[in-house]
């Protein structure tokens, strides 16, 4: 039985892709670069905002320009991160049910920590025991460094903690931390990617997670 559940944020709890794509394409247009479809952005996200910027910028963009664009993107996205973003259907109900069962809940995201905390509190006030975003001096997922630190803060044990995410990055993060992982199909990636990365479970609806809690 799981006593703790750690969720990815983008593509798992919140559908953030339209705001991310809008911000990225705003920057692309400002620099005269080609824009990208939302589906293309779904395969660019997951490894943190610096990597996202590197991926939507034209190949060969120099480091100084990437650093400038990162600052521009971060400022624009921070101002527009709630324009279209919303919880996936069934997520608020799932979180309420888990909370009612006494499960401790946390978020681990590759979104910058300064953005992740306010976003989570805006959409899910009072629900999560801890939120950890990306830090400048720590490796991002799938490295387990921040996961392990988060679990220590929560007093969570690997054998009773479930990691939940929508991408291979999330599956590998959980596995690198010694956790069971549930991959979700309502996010940005597909079953092939999740199973290929080694997900223990793949679920198509949030309510299906409740059955996993007893395993």
User: Which residues participate in catalysis according to the annotation?
Assistant: 8
Whether 40 contacts 126, CB under 8 Å: no
The whole-angstrom separation of Cα 101 and Cα 3 is: 9
Measured at the CA of 21, the angle between CA 69 and CA 162, to 5 degrees, comes to: 105
Q: Could you report how far apart the first and last alpha carbons of the chain are, in Å?
A: 5
Dihedral angle computed from the Cα positions of residues 40, 53, 31 and 29, in that order, rounded to the nearest 10 degrees:
30
The whole-angstrom separation of Cα 64 and Cα 84 is: 31
Measured at the CA of 29, the angle between CA 37 and CA 26, to 5 degrees, comes to: 70
Q: Three-state SS for 185?
A: coil
Dihedral angle computed from the Cα positions of residues 64, 115, 152 and 11, in that order, rounded to the nearest 10 degrees:
-100
The whole-angstrom separation of Cα 139 and Cα 93 is: 32
Whether 179 contacts 161, CB under 8 Å: yes
- The first and second tokens of residue 32, run together, are 């005269």
């Amino acid at each position: 039985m799981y006593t703790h559940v750690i969720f990815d944020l983008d593509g798992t709890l919140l559908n953030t892709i339209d705001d991310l794509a809008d911000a990225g394409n705003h920057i692309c247009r400002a620099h005269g670069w080609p824009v990208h479809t939302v589906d293309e952005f779904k395969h660019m996200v997951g490894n943190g905002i610096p990597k996202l910027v590197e991926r939507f910028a034209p190949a060969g963009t120099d480091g100084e320009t990437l650093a400038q664009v990162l600052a521009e993107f971060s400022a624009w996205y921070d101002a527009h991160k709630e324009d279209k973003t919303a919880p996936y259907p069934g997520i608020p109900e799932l979180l309420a049910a888990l909370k009612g069962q006494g499960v401790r809940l946390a978020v681990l995201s590759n979104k910058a920590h300064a953005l992740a905390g306010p976003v989570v509190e805006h959409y899910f006030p009072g629900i999560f025991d801890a939120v950890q975003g990306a830090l400048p001096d720590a490796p991002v997922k799938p490295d387990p460094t921040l996961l392990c630190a988060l679990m220590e803060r929560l007093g969570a044990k690997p054998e009773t903690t479930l990691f939940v995410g929508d991408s291979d990055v999330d599956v590998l993060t959980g596995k690198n931390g010694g956790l069971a992982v549930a991959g979700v199909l309502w996010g940005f990636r597909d079953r092939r990617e999740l199973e290929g990365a080694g997900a223990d479970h793949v679920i198509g609806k949030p309510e299906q997670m409740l059955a996993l809690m007893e395993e």
